[in-house]
Amino acid sequence: MTRKLVCVIALLAIASMANFVQSDDQERVIWYGTLDGGLAEAKRSGRPIILLSAAPHCQAVSGIW
Amino acid sequence: MDRSYWSNQELVLATRDFVCIRLATYEDQKEVDFLKTIFRGRSGSLENTVFAMLDSDGKTKLGRSGRSPDFAFRGVSGFVDGLKKMSAERKLKSKRYSDTKLPLMKNVDLALNVASCDKIQLIIIVGEDDEKVEQISKRALKLAWGDKTAGQYVFATTTDAKELETISGQKIKNGIVVVEPGQFGMSGDIVATFKPEFDLAKSLAKLVDLAKNYEVLKEYRSHIRMGISLGIDWKTETPVTDRESNMATERSRGRKE
């Protein structure tokens, strides 16, 4: 019984974590990572800018937006 | 930042007519000064996230700025509609294949962290000098803008071998290094290297394969918990000025920011 319960919990955990796996068939936004690089490209191409800024850390833990 | 929002496929395609700039907040004083002119929170300080639509001059705002697109658009579908409308009005046409520069991060350390956040691989153009880096970068343009690989990598360049010290694997003096970032983006493993004269057509299949097989599991709360317990402590280039963020760090780490 306990073993079954552990298995069910483990499966549920894996299923919930699966939501965070990036599917590689997906297209992704092409981001310029510096202001100078992005502004130069906007000026060159005449295209408007989508500007976003975010901290690549949370509670000083890196590796997560 | 909402991780699923920006992977909405309709949104991704709608962004192709625009220049997309994503800065890492607090990692460059000049960028911090610029962001402050775009949006400040109620406290008057720069907060962790900023969003704005700007004209190609980089100055004229094309709508309401705020902490996220939701300040200007109603949900992701509203944002997509807004982009499509703007694109049609301005008769924009995607020119991503003619782009002349790589979409680079400021340095290798930051690129490694951002690649880890995005759960994608990092491509580093390594060269003995700027000229060599420039030459190799030109050959790598199609990796950044080509059909099969657009948006699939974070890019950085370096002429300094010291910048690769946190990355393990066989280093090269000139060429392209493909790196899988570690869980916290403070280390990485080299999974492939290509010489400066690499044949893109031949290398592409290998690169696409490597990217497809790279899967990372991250769950927000356990990531933070594990990071704190392992002593992960990301130091920003400029002080974090987001009050709520600082309070959360103070609570979890028992220190004043």
Phi, psi of B213 (to 5 degrees): -85, 0
pLDDT, tens only, B15-27: 999 999 999 999 9
- pLDDT at residue A13 tops 70: no
Chain A residue with the nearest C-alpha to that of B143: A30
- pLDDT at residue A6 tops 80: no
Instruction: For residues B4 and B152, give the distance between their C-alpha atoms in angstroms, rounded to a whole number.
Output: 16
With the C-alpha atoms ordered B4, B7, B13, B18, is the resulting torsion angle positive or negative?
positive
Based on the number of CB atoms within 10 Å of its own CB, is A44 exposed (0-12), middle (13-18) or buried (19 or more)? middle
pLDDT, tens only, B92-144: 776 655 578 999 999 999 999 999 999 999 999 999 999 999 999 999 998 89
What is the C-alpha R_g of chain A?
Answer: 20
Instruction: Tell me the nearest-neighbour CA distance from B11 into chain A, angstroms.
Output: 8
Q: Tell me, what's the pLDDT at A22?
A: 44
B150 CB-near residues (< 8 Å, 6+ apart): A27, A28, A30, B96, B144
A·B CB contacts under 8 A: 260
Q: Does residue A33 sit at the B interface (CB-CB below 8 Å)?
A: yes
Best to test chain A binding among B7, B23, B31 (most A CBs inside 10 Å): B23
Distance of CA B219 to the CA centre of its chain: 19
Based on the number of CB atoms within 10 Å of its own CB, is A33 exposed (0-12), middle (13-18) or buried (19 or more)? buried
Domains for chain B: give ranges and CATH numbers: 3-89 (no CATH), 108-212 (3.40.30.10), 220-256 (no CATH)
Q: How far is CA B200 from CA B13, B127, B136, B204, in A?
A: 25, 18, 11, 6
- Model pTM? 0.88
Residue pair B113/A57 in contact (Cβ under 8 Å)? The answer is yes
B59 CB-near residues (< 8 Å, 6+ apart): none
Instruction: Tell me the nearest-neighbour CA distance from A62 into chain B, angstroms.
Output: 5
Chain B residue with the nearest C-alpha to that of A57: B234
Instruction: For residues B53 and B76, give the distance between their C-alpha atoms in angstroms, rounded to a whole number.
Output: 15
Confidence of residue A5 (pLDDT cuts 50, 70, 90): very low
Chain B residue with the nearest C-alpha to that of A62: B184
Q: Given A33, A39, A59, which is nearest B224 (Cβ)?
A: A59
Beta strands in chain A (DSSP E): 31-32, 49-54, 57-58, 61-62
Q: Tell me, what's the pLDDT at A14?
A: 36
Q: How far is CA B206 from CA B30, B89, B149, in A?
A: 38, 40, 12
Q: Tell me, what's the pLDDT at B98?
A: 58
Instruction: For residues B245 and B236, give the distance between their C-alpha atoms in angstroms, rounded to a whole number.
Output: 13
Interior angle at CA B59, CA B56 and CA B61, nearest 5:
85
Neighbours of B231 (CB within 10 A): 6
Q: Does residue A50 sit at the B interface (CB-CB below 8 Å)?
A: yes
Contact B223/A64, CB-based, under 8 Å?
Answer: yes
Q: Tell me, what's the pLDDT at B210?
A: 86
Query: What mean pLDDT comes out for the span A29-42?
Result: 96
| pLDDT < 50 positions in chain B | none
Q: Terminus-to-terminus CA distance in chain B, angstroms? A: 21
Phi, psi of B172 (to 5 degrees): -130, 155
